[in-house]
Structure 1
Amino acid sequence: MRETLIDTRTIAMHFLEAGEGPLVLLCHGFPETGRAWRHQVAALASAGYRAVAPDMRGYGGSHAPEGTDQYTVVHAVGDMVALMDALGEDRAVIVGHDWGATVAWQAALMRPDRFRAVAALGVPMMGLPPLPPSRIFPRSGEALFYTLYFNEPGLADAEFARDPRLTLLKILNAASGEAGPRLPGDGTPNPFGMVRRGVGLLADLPAPPALPAWLPEAELDRMAAAFAASGFTGALNYYRNLDRNFELQQAMAGARVGVPALFLIGERDTGLSIPGMAEIIAAMPELVPDLRGSHVIPDAGHWLQQERPEDVTEALLAFLGDVEGRLFSFL
């Protein structure tokens, strides 16, 4: 694997890359970098693909525009198209996790001429809500939904930046499968739930006595160093454009994803605790007619490609093989 920084026509992008062959773009989510896909980059390269995992805009070594309004999903899709052009590639399979999954779905929806298939981890394809997201997410006098907390300029930015390593450790641990099953009302700490006003997100998350088994110390240190350098504002700006995304996506209202698709989610993913999420996942074929698989990975949490790298890689290679009519006899 090699790390590269190139200028595209939108931003300068830093990415992890390996292999030669058909291009597979791997988009990470919050709060990670392209190294979240390190296992898949190596495996895809070995299987005959060109695997590229960029730091998304605002993250890691990629450029972080100053304007909050520069972090819509349309900007992120534009970055992926610009990256492909800079790499000299006409088409790609796009794979995303968390926010990267949202970008991947929208890329497949907007540019099926460039993205010939899509795989999403953790976040299903969803239709447009009836109201802007800020008017739907819950809040009370005591607490508010984490996306609303993230939407306050400077608030989560300062909380997370005080100790980036501890911030990442608490969030990664609490949303992992090792935090345990998530049943309604069981009190399992959830970094992507309600946040107490005046307290912040991190205070209610435990600091584990040891790192999760899937998270090597060196990788946590790398991630902490990346966020210490970049800060968290770029990453949080994605959440600050949820209502604007709602406005911009009206142009695609009613459109369906027409390319082959795959969906994976961990059995213990924090997103499954959101009311109605199971129904949204079940209804995906209405929005994604060529959905070729929707799989739940047992005991896994939100960080699926890191927690269960072999399962994710096997599913991706089977999907890619199905799309291209290739067989992978070594699996």
Structure 2
Amino acid sequence: MSMSRHHTVRAQGLNFDVVEQGKGPLVLLCHGFPETSHAWRHQLPALAQAGYRAAAPDLRGFGGSDCPASEEAYGLLELIGDLVGMVDALGEQQAVLVGNDWGGTLAWQAARLRPDRFRAVASLGVPLMSRSPLLPSQVFPWTDDTWFYVHYFLEHGLADHDLQANVELSLRKIYFAASGDAGPRNEPTTPNPFGLVSRKQAFLNTLPTPAELPSWLAPEDMHVFVKAFSRTGFTGGLNYYRNLDRNWRCEAAFDGLRVEVPALYMVGERDTGLAIPGMKDIIQAMPSLAPQLRGSHVIPKAGHWLPQEAPDAVNAALLGFLRSL
């Protein structure tokens, strides 16, 4: 089996760090927040062994890739442009897109807008949703005492400073609390960093400090993530959230457009998103938005970091989907 290699590709005037492995049809793997391309370390060799060219970039603002200073540089159309440019830079005409968390959102929307370049899509955690009737910032709940985590992320400088103060501790808390290791989501004592949080105490103080790393995260892998965010900080990733309202306005131009390419959806049984009211109804409605949806899988006991937490189940479902194309 071929070895993985790191190299730099250029797209939209930016440099992107990419790790890739294998030869064959291109599969582009898009990570979430707060992650990097290292989140796909279990999928790269599996895809390569199965006869695919798997490429996992650090998205703009993350890891070894460029981090533009402008908040507006992290809008949806810019990010989709990055993916198109990466396919070009890798010398290919088309790719299958696979994404988790924010990467899942990008994968859905890129496949929706550019089916000529992205011939299939697989999203982990994030379902395909219709456009909200209101600005996202107005949809998310908040009170004098609590607010949705997105509002916390939208406050300029607040989350940036809090998360950067102790990178290792921040990641340790978030990775554990959003993972299946934290427990079933229907238990009131299960922590959730991606839900309602207190406005009266620091975000990280509302999350437990696990004595050990999650069972799915080895110390050497944690070191890779800590090193990456120690270099870049968290502002690049937070800027994805700070463009939610701007993205909503852009989406008016293609509201009603469906994802017409073959699609796959996977979610962990203990994913934080499943705790959001109405999420199960959204998942059940996906075939109306993605008529070629070929599967919707719930992975037992897994949480939000599905490629890392349940690699065998993810690889099996993903390879089955790819072979069906």
Answer whether contact 2:36 2:59 (CA < 8 A) is retained.
yes
Q: Distance in 2 between matches of 1:46 and 1:10?
A: 33
- 1:270 matched to which residue of 2? 272
Query: 1:6 Cα deviation (Å)?
Result: 2.3
Q: Distance in 1 between matches of 2:79 and 2:23?
A: 24
Q: Distance in 2 between matches of 1:124 and 1:203?
A: 29
| Aligned amino acid, residue 286 of structure 2 | M
Select which of 121, 137, 140 maps to 2:124.
121
Query: 1:210 Cα deviation (Å)?
Result: 1.1
- 1:288 matched to which residue of 2? 290
Answer whether contact 1:10 1:79 (CA < 8 A) is retained.
no
State how many pairs are aligned.
322
Q: Distance in 1 between matches of 2:287 and 2:199?
A: 39
- 1:24 matched to which residue of 2? 27
Select which of 63, 79, 83 maps to 1:80.
83
1:113-132 CA distance string (max 9 Å, x none): 00000000000000000000
Query: 1:204 Cα deviation (Å)?
Result: 1.1
Secondary structure at the aligned position of 1:229 is classed as helix
The answer to whether structure 1 residue 137 and structure 2 residue 140 are counterparts is yes
- 1:329 matched to which residue of 2? none
Q: Which runs of 5+ in 2 are unaligned?
A: none
Answer whether contact 2:20 2:55 (CA < 8 A) is retained.
yes
Secondary structure at the aligned position of 1:224 is classed as helix
Q: Distance in 1 between matches of 2:282 and 2:289?
A: 10
Secondary structure at the aligned position of 1:70 is classed as helix
Q: Distance in 1 between matches of 2:32 and 2:12?
A: 22
Select which of 148, 153, 178 maps to 1:150.
153
The answer to whether structure 1 residue 7 and structure 2 residue 10 are counterparts is yes
- 2:227 matched to which residue of 1? 225
Change over 3 Å in CA distance of 1:78–1:10 after alignment to 2: farther
Query: 1:212 Cα deviation (Å)?
Result: 1.1
Q: Distance in 2 between matches of 1:81 and 1:136?
A: 31
Which runs of structure 1 show a deviation greater than 3 angstroms over 4 or more consecutive aligned residues?
Answer: none
| Aligned amino acid, residue 200 of structure 1 | A
Query: 1:74 Cα deviation (Å)?
Result: 1.1
Query: 1:100 Cα deviation (Å)?
Result: 0.2
| Aligned amino acid, residue 262 of structure 2 | P
The answer to whether structure 1 residue 316 and structure 2 residue 322 are counterparts is no
Report percent identity of matched pairs.
56
Query: 1:200 Cα deviation (Å)?
Result: 2.3
Q: Distance in 1 between matches of 2:175 and 2:10?
A: 31
Select which of 200, 214, 229 maps to 2:202.
200
Secondary structure at the aligned position of 2:92 is classed as coil
Q: Which runs of 5+ in 1 are unaligned?
A: 324-331
Query: 1:213 Cα deviation (Å)?
Result: 1.1
- 2:48 matched to which residue of 1? 45
Answer whether contact 1:10 1:82 (CA < 8 A) is retained.
no
